[in-house]
Chains A and B, each alone.
Chain A
């Protein structure tokens, strides 16, 4: 018996599929819009540097104001690395390798990644909230109506402020981490000072270890800053809209960092285990 409609298929299932379809189309539209936005922001780079004052101000708000959280976190992470690292290494009689263990962990991975995550939650959310609030109070519209491109004056300086701050913060994180491990390893546990630094120096090469760490932190800086300014610019102009936009910045930025970290690590350290 031919059936023109299928009474067997529940309406809820049909609705579910329609929602998935609409959601996917929405997601693609959003990605398309985001990409056009990214390109537009990057095109405003000369403007951001001609008005150096604006970008400097953003480096202050993104970088300087993150110093305390980054450096204190770095210190604690380094100290824990020192404790846990020595405990594990000592079982194989490799306690003298504590320096190189801590150094490599920080420079290659923990420095860029943890500093990036902290940056996303502290500076990223602040940037999103600021831009979102300016959108809500019509400041961005006012600027547009005065024939000033908000992308050039508000968005691009914040983007570059983030990109410039990230690698510096990651390096400071690693340095504080090494210092923390030194305090725990050499001063507290009693690893020999010379061995600690000597092994570390012998085992960590500027190229590829330190430079790859720097490249990673620059990539993370670009990703987090782009997400932060986009979510702020795209936020719904209500209190609730700004709040969910900041949440998306932190979550999206963190996930982007972790995913990019994996991809970059695969490319950079292909020789491991050879």
Chain B
């Protein structure tokens, strides 16, 4: 299989949780290796679904999803197993295993997929925790961590096996300004240090523009805009403008569809 220069390629991907209503309608996306790419859009537009399609948790109803040169829908159980070893994923709010310590959480993928001796595992885990700044918290339980700390531990766990592709599902959601900066910085630095590719699903425009190489905007199941951070900042597209400026009304309307306002106050004729 020829090594492609792109980590992930999506062509004409269509998917809907409900067979009758498609959430994603014909998505075309190319993620080159070594880049950090953001996928942005309003809530419920299907961003997380895209990540699940890449990871093979969901199967597209039509179109192709190619990861590292392999078509995901053709993979069997063992194939998916091999694929997932190459992917690290950071879930929204961390999804740490609540009954394991911070150390055990980061060690989990290493223990499950390698036969390394305990001493080596210890060193690897400590290195990952050091990279995210939480080496001293190794013995704590997830319940004892703040939101930002939990997110960072989950990040360390996601990169424990030095994956070729790292997926981030809303990594900035609910964090304080300091943690926001830390997480954003870690995403960029880890990507460059490990030589991997990162896909960040988010709606935090400010943090994304600081760290990513390219952005995709998803609305109503289609990609309606894309570009580099500079292109996006100066884009004339009304949707992108509303998103970047945070305007309350624009292509995405403020009002939920309803009958004319005046009609609410008209007395009903008996």
Contact = CB atoms under 8 A, between A and B. Distances in A.
Answer whether A and B touch in the complex at a CB cut-off of 8 Å. Answer: yes
A76 B218 CA distance: 64
B98 A147 contact: no
Interface string B80-119: 1100110101011101111000000000110011000000
Contacts of B55: 145
A138 B57 CA distance: 13
Interface in A171-226: none
A68 B95 CA distance: 33
B87 A148 contact: no
Given A145-B55, A146-B84, A147-B80, A139 B95 contact: yes
A139 B97 contact: yes
A147 B57 contact: no
Given A145-B89, A147-B112, A147-B113, A139 B84 contact: no
Interface string B31-45: 000000000000000
Contacts of A143: 97
A142 B84 contact: no
A141 interface: yes
Contacts of B89: 142, 145-146
B97 A147 contact: no
Contacts of A148: 108-109, 112
Nearest to B97: A139
A138 B95 contact: yes
A137 interface: yes
A29 to B, nearest CB: 14
A144 B112 CA distance: 12
A138 B112 contact: no
Contacts of A139: 95-98
Interface of B: 55, 57, 80-81, 84-85, 87, 89, 91-93, 95-98, 108-109, 112-113
B85 A147 contact: yes
Contacts of B113: 146-147
Contact of A141 (B81, B91, B97, B109): B91
Given A146-B84, A147-B80, A147-B84, A141 B95 contact: yes
Contacts of A146: 84, 89, 108-109, 112-113
Interface of A: 134, 137-139, 141-148
A146 B96 CA distance: 12
A137 B57 CA distance: 16
Contacts of A137: 93, 95, 98
Nearest to A154: B97
A148 B95 CA distance: 14
B128 to A, nearest CB: 14
Given A146-B108, A147-B80, A147-B85, A141 B57 contact: yes
A52 B87 CA distance: 29
Contacts of A144: 57, 84
A141 B80 CA distance: 14
Nearest to A153: B112
Given A145-B87, A146-B113, A147-B112, 10 more contacts: A137-B93, A139-B95, A139-B96, A141-B91, A142-B95, A144-B57, A144-B84, A145-B55, A146-B109, A148-B112
Contacts of B93: 137-138
Contacts of A138: 91-93, 95
Contacts of B80: 147
Nearest to B51: A145
B81 A147 contact: yes
A145 B57 contact: yes
A144 B95 CA distance: 12
A34 B80 CA distance: 24
B216 to A, nearest CB: 21
A144 B52 CA distance: 11
A147 B55 CA distance: 10
Rank and list the top 3 A-B pairs by shortest CB-CB distance, nearest first: A147-B84, A138-B95, A142-B95
A201 B95 CA distance: 56
B160 to A, nearest CB: 9
A142 B168 CA distance: 12
A143 B98 CA distance: 12
18 contacts: A138-B93, A138-B95, A139-B95, A139-B98, A141-B95, A142-B89, A142-B91, A142-B95, A142-B97, A144-B84, A145-B55, A145-B91, A146-B112, A147-B80, A147-B84, A147-B85, A147-B112, A148-B109
Contacts of B112: 146-148
Contacts of B91: 138, 141-142, 145
Q: Which of B55, B91, B113 has the most CB of A within 10 A?
A: B91
A138 B80 CA distance: 19
